[in-house]
Structure 1
Amino acid sequence: MIDLRAVVDPSAQVADSVSIGPYSIIGPEVEIGAGTWIGPHVVIKGPTRIGRDNRIFQFASIGEDPQDKKYRG
Structure 2
Amino acid sequence: MSQVHPTAIIDPKAKIADDVEISPYAVIGADVEIDSGTWIGPHAVIQGPTTIGKENRIYQFASVGEAPQDKKYQ
Cα displacement (A) at 1:27: 0.3
Gaps of 5+ in 2: none
Match of residue 6, structure 1, among 5, 8, 19: 8
**1:27-65 deviation digits (Å, cap 9, x = unpaired):** 000000000000000000001000010001001000000
Deviations 1:12-38 (A, max 9, x none): 000010000111100000000000000
Runs of 4 or more, structure 1, over 4 Å off, are none
* Corresponding residue of 2:53: 51
Which of residues 37, 40, 51 is equivalent to 2:39?
Answer: 37
In structure 1, the gaps of 5 or more residues are none
Root mean square deviation of aligned Cα: 0.6
The share of aligned pairs that are identical, in percent, is: 61
C-alpha distance in 2 between matches for 1:67 and 1:16: 32
- What's the TM-score, normalizing by structure 2? 0.94
